[in-house]
């Protein structure tokens, strides 16, 4: 019989639930898609790697990093009992210290009054302070509300006790002053969360919670290369052991205090450090809160067994149920992507989405195709898993990592979901998996120039740059993509495969791609061919771009087809593309198979 050919486009992502016959109709999906990502430009792309952020650990030990946040041209990391900041990962500065510095003179205060008077006209308020400055007098912390003259000012609250001839301190310390400051320890901090209140300061004000200590406040200003640090623990009726924090309606929102796990607290409007004002308050949702996230003009409260939405903090507060039947497994899985909130529920990943109707919200299940992964790899091990997640916005990608205690870093797993619009116009997620990226803490932020910055940490005390480079911090990236079994339109006819043309776009040099063919559902009764080399990949030269002689193919196409001779025959077959090494990423966009049909035997 004459040769025939079939073209297959790589699309649809990982499908672990399709039956043999349904997968015949969707040959572009994958049954294994490990260390690949579904590209928004089409095809399956081998993922990037990760590398160390600088050369040093924050506290020079290997104790766990418990939180990472990009901030003030650098990174804030929580490790041990301290909080550190670094712009380069080489020099780390401990910032959880008393940053209040004495200013000129002594002062008197009266209980129940906001007025501060100089003791003996010894102060210089007009030259040393400004409205809004953070000051401490006799252990009480306030912001300056107004300055009458060099010897009189008012603060934004009433003093609890009277004091006479006491020092006045202003928050803000240089690196030298910080080095000699006393430590404000953060014992037993774990799984730290951050909330950035942008306000009017240079880089905003960072609030840090860990479920054990009082909420921490950190601000850094940079002028002419000089850093000024502001640190304190938030008082003024803030919940002492909050575990979750976010910003909503120009307020700091705190929740997760182990003494009152069903209570949500919100600060005074425009005063994130003050939980005593008339516009501050608390809400009891009646279920254990696992995180809180703003969504459009609502605050979504995720609980263990239910989900609520809160609105109207500036007027009449309204709390309504989104669902009383579905909860969130871990607040660390919640992210916003594609205009929706995605979270891990007991039945897999779901989204909270707004609808066309005002104030209406719907829940959708989005991970049906990879449900066996949750059933077998995640749900039975929840007690030993630490979840983390991030969104890579440039790739429209959600990444979920499930770090299992006591498991080697080389087999730690993760899930990648790429948000795409299908050929029918429907919004879909295409899934793949990661293996060998040990992520216990993850963070995605925006750098000063507007570019994305991605970080993660595991259990070695280091911060890593995420999704960068061609290796897993120097180790090989092992990636494999396996097709479903293909019948080429008729599973009853034996086919002798002649050759395959793979359409693969390389982003550099990669010489370790291999192809394996398996016939008749990998039957042991059929002779199976050996794995074969696909050949070296090199970057094609394109007009207007820099090219290097000897490493670039001039006249090459962006998606070159590599022809490889095949052997063997069967009624069906699958292909597996595998690479191992530190070569450049590449994208498999599709393939063409040439075969000769035989009889129905």
Percentage of the chain surpassing pLDDT 90? 87
pLDDT value at position 357?
A: 45
Could you give the angle at the alpha carbon of 77 between the alpha carbons of 416 and 221, nearest 5°?
A: 115
Hey, which residues does 571 pair with through a beta bridge?
none
Predicted pLDDT of residue 73: 95
Nearest-angstrom CA–CA distance, 42 and 463:
31
pLDDT (0 to 100) of residue 355: 43
The per-residue pLDDT for 354 is 63
pLDDT at 52: 98
pLDDT of residue 481: 98
Q: pLDDT of 248-269, one tens digit each? A: 999 999 999 999 999 999 999 9
> Are residues 97 and 173 in contact, defined by beta-carbon separation less than 8 angstroms?
yes
Q: pLDDT class for 169, splitting at 50, 70, 90? A: very high
Phi, psi of 333 (to 5 degrees): -95, -5
The confidence score (pLDDT) of residue 562 equals: 86
Sign of the torsion angle spanned by Cα atoms 22, 24, 28, 33:
positive
Q: Are 229 and 95 in contact (CB under 8 A)?
A: yes
* Exposed e or buried b per residue across 15-50, where buried means at least 16 C-beta atoms within 10 angstroms of its C-beta: bbebeeeebbeebbbbbbbbbbbbbeebbbbbbbbb
The confidence score (pLDDT) of residue 476 equals 97
Q: Which two tokens stand for residue 598?
A: 């035989």
* Alpha-carbon gap, residue 108 to 119, rounded angstroms: 6
Q: Contact, 349 vs 367, CB < 8 A?
A: yes
DSSP string, 137-160: ETTEEEEEEEEEETTEEEESS--S
In this predicted model, what pLDDT tens digit does every residue of 212-246 receive, in sequence order? 999 999 999 999 999 999 999 998 889 999 999 99
Residue 538 dihedral angles phi and psi, to the nearest 5°: -135, 155
pLDDT tens string 444-484: 999 888 899 999 999 999 999 999 999 999 999 999 999 99
Residue ranges and CATH numbers for the domains of the chain are 4-48+479-597 (2.60.120.260), 54-97+182-325+369-475 (2.130.10), 100-171 (2.40.30.180)
Question: What are the tokens at 228?
Answer: 């000024």
Q: What share of the chain has pLDDT > 70, as a percent?
A: 95
Phi, psi of 374 (to 5 degrees): -70, -40
Closest CA to 330 of 338, 321, 342: 342
d(CA 281, CA 268): 8
Report the pLDDT averaged over residues 31-52: 97
Instruction: Place 539 in a pLDDT band, splitting at 50, 70 and 90.
Output: low
Q: Which DSSP helix (H) or strand (E) runs through 175?
A: helix 175-179
- pLDDT of 206 > 60? The answer is yes
230 HSE (CA, 13 A, CB side)? 24
Q: Evaluate the CA torsion angle 18, 19, 25, 29 in order and state its sign.
A: positive
pLDDT of residue 537: 76
Task: Identify the residue with better confidence: 600 or 146.
Answer: 146
Q: According to the model, what pLDDT value does residue 88 have?
A: 96
- Coil, strand, or helix at residue 225? coil
Mean pLDDT of 403-408: 93
Q: CA 255 to CA 302: how far, in whole Å?
A: 11
Could you tell me if 211 and 258 are in contact, meaning their C-beta atoms sit under 8 angstroms apart? yes
Average per-residue pLDDT in the chain?
93
| pLDDT number for residue 200 | 86
Q: Confidence class of residue 358 from pLDDT cuts 50, 70 and 90?
A: very low
State the pLDDT at residue 511: 83
N residues, the chain: 601
Q: How far apart are CA 217 and CA 204, in angstroms?
A: 11
Q: Is the pLDDT of residue 559 over 70?
A: no
């Amino acid at each position: 019989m004459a040769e025939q050919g079939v073209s297959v486009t790589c699309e649809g992502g990982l499908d672990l639930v399709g039956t043999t016959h349904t997968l015949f109709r969707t040959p572009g999906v994958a049954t294994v898609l490990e260390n690949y990502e579904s590209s928004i430009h089409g095809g399956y792309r081998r993922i990037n790697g990760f590398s160390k952020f600088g050369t040093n650990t924050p506290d020079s030990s290997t104790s766990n990093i418990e939180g990472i946040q990009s901030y003030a041209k650098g990174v804030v990391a929580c490790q041990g009992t301290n909080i550190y900041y670094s712009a380069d990962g080489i020099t780390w500065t401990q910032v959880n210290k008393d940053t209040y510095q004495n200013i000129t003179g002594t002062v008197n205060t009266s209980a129940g009054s906001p007025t501060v008077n100089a003791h003996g006209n010894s102060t210089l308020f007009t030259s040393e302070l400004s409205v809004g400055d953070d000051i401490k007098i006799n252990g009480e912390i306030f912001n300056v509300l107004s300055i009458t003259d060099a010897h009189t000012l008012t603060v934004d609250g009433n003093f609890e006790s009277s004091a006479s001839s006491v020092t006045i301190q202003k928050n803000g310390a240089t690196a030298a002053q910080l080095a000699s400051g006393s430590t404000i320890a953060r014992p037993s901090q774990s799984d730290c969360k951050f909330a950035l209140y942008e306000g009017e300061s240079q880089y905003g004000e960072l609030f840090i919670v860990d479920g054990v200590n009082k909420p921490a406040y950190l601000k850094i200003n940079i002028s002419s290369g000089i850093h000024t640090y502001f640190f304190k623990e938030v008082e003024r009726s803030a919940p002492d052991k909050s575990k979750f924090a976010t910003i909503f309606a120009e307020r700091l929102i705190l929740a997760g205090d182990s003494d009152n796990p069903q209570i949500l607290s919100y600060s005074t409007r425009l005063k994130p450090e003050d939980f005593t004002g008339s516009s501050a308050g608390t809400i009891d949702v009646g279920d254990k809160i696992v995180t809180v996230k703003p969504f459009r003009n609502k605050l979504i409260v995720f609980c263990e067994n239910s989900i609520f939405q809160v609105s109207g903090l500036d007027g009449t507060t309204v709390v309504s149920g989104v669902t009383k039947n579905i909860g969130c497994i871990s607040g660390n899985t919640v992210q916003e992507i594609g205009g929706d909130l995605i979270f891990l529920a007991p039945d897999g990943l779901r989204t909270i989405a707004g609808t066309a109707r005002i104030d209406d919200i719907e829940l959708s299940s989005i991970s049906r195709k990879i449900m066996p992964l949750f059933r077998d790899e995640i749900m039975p091990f929840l007690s030993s898993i630490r979840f983390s997640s991030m969104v890579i916005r440039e790739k429209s990608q959600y990444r979920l990592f499930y770090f299992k205690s006591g498991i080697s870093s080389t087999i730690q797993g993760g899930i990648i979901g790429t948000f795409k619009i299908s050929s029918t116009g429907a919004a879909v997620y295409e899934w793949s998996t990661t293996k060998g990226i040990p992520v216990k803490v993850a963070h995605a932020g925006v750098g000063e120039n507007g570019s994305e910055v991605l970080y993660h940490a595991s259990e070695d005390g280091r911060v890593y740059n995420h999704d960068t480079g061609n290796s897993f911090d120097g180790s090989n990236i092992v990636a494999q993509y396996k097709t479903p079994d293909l019948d080429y339109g008729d599973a009853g006819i034996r086919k002798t495969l002649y050759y395959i043309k793979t359409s693969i776009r390389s982003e550099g040099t990669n010489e370790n791609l291999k192809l394996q063919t398996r016939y008749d559902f990998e039957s042991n009764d059929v002779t199976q061919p050996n794995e074969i080399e696909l050949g070296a990949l090199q970057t094609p030269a394109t007009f207007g771009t820099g090219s290097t002689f000897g490493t670039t193919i001039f006249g090459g196409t962006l998606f070159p087809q590599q022809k490889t001779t095949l052997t063997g025959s069967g009624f069906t077959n699958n292909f597996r593309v595998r690479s191992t090494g530190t070569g450049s990423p590449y994208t498999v966009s599709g393939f063409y198979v040439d075969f000769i049909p035989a009889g129905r035997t």
